[in-house]
Structure 1
Amino acid sequence: MRFAQTIAGMEITVVVRASVRVPSPLHVDVVAHGPGRGGRLDLALRSVEGGGASSGSVRVEAGRPGMYPVVLSVARVGPHELELRAGAERSVLPFTVLVPRAPLWEVVVYAAFACAAVALLGALVSAAMSRRVVATCFGGGFAVAVVVAFTTGLLSSWFGPPVPEGAPAADAPLGRPNAQPVIEVLPERPARRSEFVLRVELYDGSTGRPADDLVEHHAALTHMVVTSQDGAYFRHVHPTRTGPGTYEVRLRAEEAGRHLVYAEFERADAGGQLVSGAFTVGEPRGSASVAEPARPAAGPGPPVTVPARPVAGRPVRITLDAGTADLQPWLGMAGHLIVRSQDGGYLGHIHEAGSMAAENPPDESVARFGPRLEFTFSFPRPGRYLAWIQYARNYEIVTVPHLIEVTAETSPR
């Protein structure tokens, strides 16, 4: 399981490694993509059903991205919670410990071979004692057991995959309603250059209770994109779960004016969902207003290639040349393209084509992608779009902004 988290000024991914048995050590890697000022990160694991707890800590060094391993212990299968604490911030990550079971066909094959061995031994002993009838019966049993073993092995693909030990019963209702969001900032109107808390509360659309059943969605419980109206301010962050259905992230306001919020998540048995909101950042008291740029802040960076006249409704190939072939996966992909319409009414999130086609994405420590990242996207309408391409190198997140003008399809005369 992978959980991207933005906590105490750090952008990290918590990787919980699989266990093959319990009790056993539980290996957890804290991948620091943006360590910021660093600091101590405390981890505490507990079983929701009781019967075991474990804790550990790592110290993330300021300015040193990389992997920080910690070893906890797990005593039983079933639902667990991993609590993270860094400074005054806290997050609780739910996951389930599963232990693989032997498939039914494998159990049948081993049992049949065991019966064949017993039958063969019985036949040999009976033959040595000149008991022909008994030896014949044992010989027949040996033949039947061997046939059963080989037939089961040949038909193994017809057997369904075994249900891991600790998996919940498959009786959850399908088609849960969308979650209803409440998006707010604390304070209500943060001042420019000040810190504020952005909070998203999710409620079930049918019961009104907190929607606390989010599942891992592209290596996070919640992906959040925050931009200023003009696009000069851009953050792709991953809020911490501070309570049932409540997700928070601490940010610093850099641009005055209207800001847009987009949160992407997935409920169990309900599919993915995108919700949005807005808030306003004010000027500090006594300061003069600052002119806002008209496009995303773009500095020197890898070149982005877009067709000269992209047409709305047609697939467009967007490429980035990172100039190096040692890019690492982030959030399970080699790269991410985030596209927002100028008015903020549309947001798209596209994954890099090559890594999206891979069945088993590599570990965050594997640097094998690049130099070319490719995205295919269809813009819904003509107009100006703000785009940001993100990828990871040396564990650090690189963000490349770009401005795209999309035209309307012209009718033939």
Structure 2
Amino acid sequence: MRVPAGPGAFDRTPVRLGAFAVGLALVFGATWGLGGALGGPPGPAAEARSGGHDDGGEAAHGTGHSGAPAAGDQPVDLPGGLQLAQDGYRLEPLTAGLSTDHPTDLRFRIVGPDGAPVTRYVETHEKELHLIVARRDLTGFQHVHPTRAADGTWSTPLRALAGGGQYRVFADFRPAGLDRALTLGVDLPAAGTYRPVELPAPTRTAGVDGYTVRLDGELRPGAEARLTLTVERDGRPVTDLEPYLGAYGHLVVLRAGDLAYLHVHPDGAPGDGRTAPGPAITFHTSVPSAGGYRLYLDFQHAGRVRTAEFTMFAGAVPTPADQPAGTTPGAGTTPGAGEHGGPGHGHD
């Protein structure tokens, strides 16, 4: 069963993206126009602070940080991933788009305030940079870790879902000399006949590769929420989760509509003497507004990383009048959740 993604829900009409040349002219015209606005003279959008990795390891960061004053001296508070540039740093894609036929070598760099590619980073959760990719309808989630060349160019193979569409690419990193992590985002196209998928109904359980993950807790707009995810396999609690990137689980949250980004982490860490390796993983996070959110839990067991996916609503759940006939929000098994490695999931 499905519910609409609320304001900003996707048009269900098939969209033919066509040749890359036409698509790229439109995409990069809009993208670099936005980048120019954000990367030019200081202003509310350019100076706003957005969320990234939490470096403390206990409670995850919120949705962003107050930045430069807007009109009327009101602070700007933007979630992560909505900007191409921030604090003088810019995400610069070097690859035209993604392919649905074979993995594309996605290349990009982070350009610093001095105009040169950044080559020095502070590791967060055992990596210099985390790359999150999702199609605009919140399918095709991938969390990968590109390789950086000496000249500051990052690269990683990526493949788009059949049908193509617009993909949001998030770079989550902390440059050396900056006291916090940044999350920058850019859209890339994949040619094909795009048929957006509706946001799945809210669910409390997700099945993936023989595992069942249960989600407890609620999202509250503008307030901290405690979320606990419990992992079982074949009906038995998993008590030997394996450390992955310095934690027993990683949770990415994307807001339906604009794909505002949160990357949160659990309480404690492996080997701290108090954090058990499952079955429960607890997170603290907050979301910036009411509406639909898609949650992606990465966990490792038996030597493999898997992703469990959920839909949650912050605030009031849409009423029946707002939903297609026959749709009822409630618990269920998340469709499309699966093991990493296919076109829709990735981890490196």
Shorter-normalised TM range: 0.5 to 0.7
Give 1:237 deviation, angstroms: 0.3
Partner of 1:224: 131
Partner of 2:116: 209
Q: 1:334 corresponds to which letter in structure 2?
A: Y
Out of 235, 252, 264, which is 2:142 matched to?
235
Out of 292, 295, 318, which is 2:196 matched to?
292
Q: 1:360 to 1:266 in 2, by over 3 A?
A: farther
Give deviations 1:278-334, integer Å, cap 9, x for gaps.
Answer: 111112xxxxx3633223796454233244x63201222211111211001111111
Give 1:408 deviation, angstroms: 6.3
Q: Which has the higher contact order (CA 8 A, sep 6+)?
A: 2
Q: 1:397 to 1:199 in 2, by over 3 A?
A: same
Give deviations 1:115-151, integer Å, cap 9, x for gaps.
Answer: xxxxxxxxxxxxxxxxxxxxxxxxxxxxxxxxxxxxx
Q: 1:388 to 1:296 in 2, by over 3 A?
A: farther
Give matches, 1:91-102, under 5 Å. Answer: none
Q: 1:295 corresponds to which letter in structure 2?
A: L
Give matches, 1:11-410, under 5 Å. Answer: 178-185=88-95, 188-205=96-113, 207-255=114-162, 256-271=164-179, 272-283=181-192, 289=193, 291-295=195-199, 299-300=207-208, 301-307=211-217, 310-322=219-231, 323-355=237-269, 369-407=277-315
Cα distance between partner residues in 1 of 2:259 and 2:194: 25
Cα distance between partner residues in 2 of 1:296 and 1:397: 23
Cα distance between partner residues in 2 of 1:361 and 1:241: 35
Calculate percent identity across the aligned residue pairs. Answer: 26
Q: 8 Å contact 1:231–1:295 — kept in the other structure? A: yes
Q: 8 Å contact 2:254–2:295 — kept in the other structure? A: yes
Q: 2:170 corresponds to which letter in structure 1?
A: Y
Q: 8 Å contact 2:98–2:159 — kept in the other structure? A: no
Cα distance between partner residues in 2 of 1:360 and 1:208: 45
Q: 8 Å contact 1:262–1:275 — kept in the other structure? A: yes
TM-score (norm 1): 0.49
Cα distance between partner residues in 2 of 1:370 and 1:352: 11
Cα distance between partner residues in 2 of 1:189 and 1:180: 18
Q: 8 Å contact 1:304–1:402 — kept in the other structure? A: no
| Structure 1: gaps spanning 5 or more residues | 1-176, 284-288, 363-367
Cα distance between partner residues in 2 of 1:369 and 1:250: 31
Give 1:369 deviation, angstroms: 0.4
Cα distance between partner residues in 2 of 1:329 and 1:214: 23
Cα distance between partner residues in 2 of 1:220 and 1:372: 24
SS at match of 1:376: strand
Give deviations 1:148-174, integer Å, cap 9, x for gaps.
Answer: xxxxxxxxxxxxxxxxxxxxxxxxxxx
Cα distance between partner residues in 2 of 1:361 and 1:275: 34
TM-score (norm 2): 0.57
Cα distance between partner residues in 1 of 2:257 and 2:294: 10
Q: 8 Å contact 1:180–1:203 — kept in the other structure? A: yes
Q: 8 Å contact 2:124–2:173 — kept in the other structure? A: yes
Q: 1:270 to 1:303 in 2, by over 3 A?
A: same
Give deviations 1:46-73, integer Å, cap 9, x for gaps.
Answer: xxxxxxxxxxxxxxxxxxxxxxxxxxxx
Cα distance between partner residues in 2 of 1:212 and 1:386: 32
RMSD over aligned Cα atoms: 2.7
Cα distance between partner residues in 2 of 1:217 and 1:233: 24
Cα distance between partner residues in 1 of 2:112 and 2:186: 18
Partner of 2:56: none
Higher helix share: 1
Q: 8 Å contact 1:302–1:320 — kept in the other structure? A: no
Partner of 1:34: none
Q: 8 Å contact 2:99–2:159 — kept in the other structure? A: no
| Structure number, greater radius of gyration | 1
Cα distance between partner residues in 2 of 1:233 and 1:310: 23
SS at match of 1:277: strand
Q: 8 Å contact 1:223–1:263 — kept in the other structure? A: yes
> Which moves more between the two structures, 337-346 or 188-197?
188-197
Q: 8 Å contact 2:222–2:288 — kept in the other structure? A: yes
Cα distance between partner residues in 2 of 1:193 and 1:349: 30
Q: 2:103 corresponds to which letter in structure 1?
A: E
Give 1:214 deviation, angstroms: 1.2
Q: 1:273 to 1:360 in 2, by over 3 A?
A: farther
